[in-house]
C-alpha cells in the first residue's frame, strides 16, 4: 500500500480491494490495470452560481480525471452517474459542463442515458440522473440496441450510509455494456453498491473512499478484512 491510502481491505478470495484514500491520488492502483470505471461522484448541490459549477466540473475532470486516465486500460470505459441541478436562478446543465471539461482533457462522450427517480421528494427536474459513458479520444464505442432509460425508485439507502445509491439494475446494465475484462473501479465508492453488483456479475472490484465510516461499511458489506499496511 502506498502513502496515499490510510487503510486497505481485501476479500479473502482476492476478488475485491478497498482503499480509504482521496481518489485524486490512486497510487495504490497500477497503470492501465482497470477495465471499467463506474462511479457516482458527490452531486453538485451549491447554489453559488455558474462559476462554482464550472469550478466543480473542472475539478472532477482535471483533479480526478488525470488518475482515471492513468489506471484505465486504453480501451476501457468510464461511466459517470451524475445529477443536474437548478441553482435557484437557473438550470446549470452540469452534465454538459462535465462532458465539456472531460473533452478538453482527452475524453469523448460515447453514450448518454437516464435514470429518473420515482417517488422522490426532489423537485421534478432534480430527479433525473444522467448516465454518461466516456472513452479516450480516438476510440469509438459501437452503439448497441439497448436503450439506457429507467424510471425506478431511489433505492433504500443502507441504514449506516448518508448517501443515495444508484439502483442495482442500472449498474448491472452499464457493466454488461462495457469492456468484459479487467476489474471495475469505483473511486467514490460510498457504501459499495457498485462493488456488490460487480462481484455479483463475477467481476473483480476496487473501491476507493475517503470517509473512514463509509469505507468500514463497504468492507463489512462486501466481506472484506483489513489488509496489511
Ligand atoms: C454519491 S456518494 C457515492 C454513493 C455510492 N454510489 C453508494 O452506493 O453508496 C460519493 C462518495 O464519494 C466520497 N468522496 C468524496 N470525495 C472523495 C475523494 N476525494 N476521494 C474518495 N472518495 C470521496 C464521499 O465520501 C461519498 O461516500
pLDDT of residue 90: 83
Distance (Å) from CA 164 to ligand 1 centroid: 10
Tell me the CA distances in angstroms from 39 to 47, 209, 226, one per residue in order: 23, 11, 23
pLDDT tens across 23-48, in order?
999 999 999 999 999 999 987 766 67
CATH of the domain at 205: 3.40.50.150
Regarding pTM above 0.75, the answer is yes
Ligand 1 site-directed mutation target among 190, 192, 222, most atoms within 8 Å of CB: 190
pLDDT of residue 2: 47
Owning domain of residue 132 = 5-226
* Intervals of the chain under pLDDT 50: 1-2
Distance (Å) from CA 117 to ligand 1 centroid: 20
Ligand 1 site-directed mutation target among 154, 210, 213, 215, most atoms within 8 Å of CB: 210
Our count of domains for the chain comes to 1
Contact status, residue 170 vs residue 114, Cβ threshold 8 Å? no
Ligand 1 site residues, Cβ closer than 6 angstroms = 22-24, 40, 42, 161, 163, 165-166, 188, 190-191, 193, 208-211, 214
pLDDT of residue 4: 76
Amino acid at each position: 500500500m502506498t502513502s496515499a491510502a490510510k487503510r486497505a481491505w481485501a476479500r479473502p478470495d482476492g476478488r475485491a480491494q478497498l482503499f480509504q484514500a482521496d481518489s485524486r491520488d490512486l497510487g495504490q492502483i497500477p497503470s492501465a490495470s482497470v477495465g471499467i470505471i463506474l462511479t457516482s461522484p458527490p452531486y453538485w448541490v451549491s447554489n453559488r452560481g455558474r462559476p462554482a459549477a464550472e469550478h466543480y466540473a473542472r475539478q472532477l475532470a482535471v483533479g480526478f480525471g488525470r488518475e482515471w486516465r492513468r489506471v484505465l486500460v486504453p480501451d476501457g470505459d468510464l461511466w459517470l452517474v451524475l445529477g443536474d441541478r437548478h441553482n435557484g436562478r437557473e438550470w446549470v446543465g452540469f452534465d454538459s459542463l462535465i462532458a465539456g471539461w472531460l473533452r478538453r482533457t482527452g475524453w469523448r462522450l460515447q453514450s448518454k442515458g437516464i435514470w429518473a427517480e420515482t417517488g422522490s421528494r426532489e423537485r421534478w427536474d432534480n430527479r433525473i440522473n444522467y448516465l454518461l459513458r466516456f472513452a479516450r479520444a480516438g476510440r469509438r464505442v459501437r452503439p448497441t440496441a439497448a436503450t439506457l432509460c429507467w424510471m425506478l425508485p431511489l433505492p433504500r439507502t443502507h441504514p449506516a450510509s448518508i448517501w443515495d445509491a444508484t439502483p442495482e439494475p442500472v449498474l448491472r446494465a452499464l457493466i454488461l455494456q462495457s469492456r468484459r475484462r479487467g476489474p471495475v473501479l469505483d473511486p467514490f465508492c460510498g457504501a459499495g453498491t457498485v462493488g456488490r453488483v460487480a462481484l455479483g456479475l463475477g467481476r473483480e472490484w476496487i473501491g476507493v473512499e475517503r470517509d473512514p465510516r463509509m469505507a468500514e461499511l463497504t468492507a463489512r458489506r462486501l466481506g472484506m478484512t483489513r489488509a496489511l499496511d
